[in-house]
Amino acid sequence: MNREAVTALIHEGWKYFLVSGLTLALDIAVYWSLYRLGGVHYLLANVVSVSTGLLANYALSVRYVFAQHRLKSRRAEFAGFVAIGIAGLMVNEAGVALFVGLAGFSRVLGKISAAGVSFVFNFVARRLLLFTAAR
């Protein structure tokens, strides 16, 4: 990897981190509202909150984070973003179940811990599969 590529990766990485922080705040607010205020089961609340965060993350990522697009079709790109998001949701759900169900974390701490794992998965997959120059 050349110096320019590394610089671009770092630049996109910190912007994606900021966007993800904002969308994680939205995700957690929806999760907490559904679980604590609405009485929704924590795993179902997680699906809804992650989905809400996914939509916000796509909109902000294509506008502020990623400069290159591998796919010409924005519909195909969004479908790929969602597919990676669904895989990330599975990683997140497994993390929540692991951290809460097996490790005994509180539901919110388990949610935050799982978000860290899924953040890395989502960034790497999206960067490699969607947001690099077309070959």
Tokens 């697009």 map to which residue? 69
Q: What is the pLDDT of residues 22-34, one digit of tens each?
A: 998 999 999 999 9
pLDDT tens for 44-65 read 998 899 889 989 999 999 999 9
User: Residue 70 half-sphere exposure, CB side, CA atoms within 13 Å?
Assistant: 14
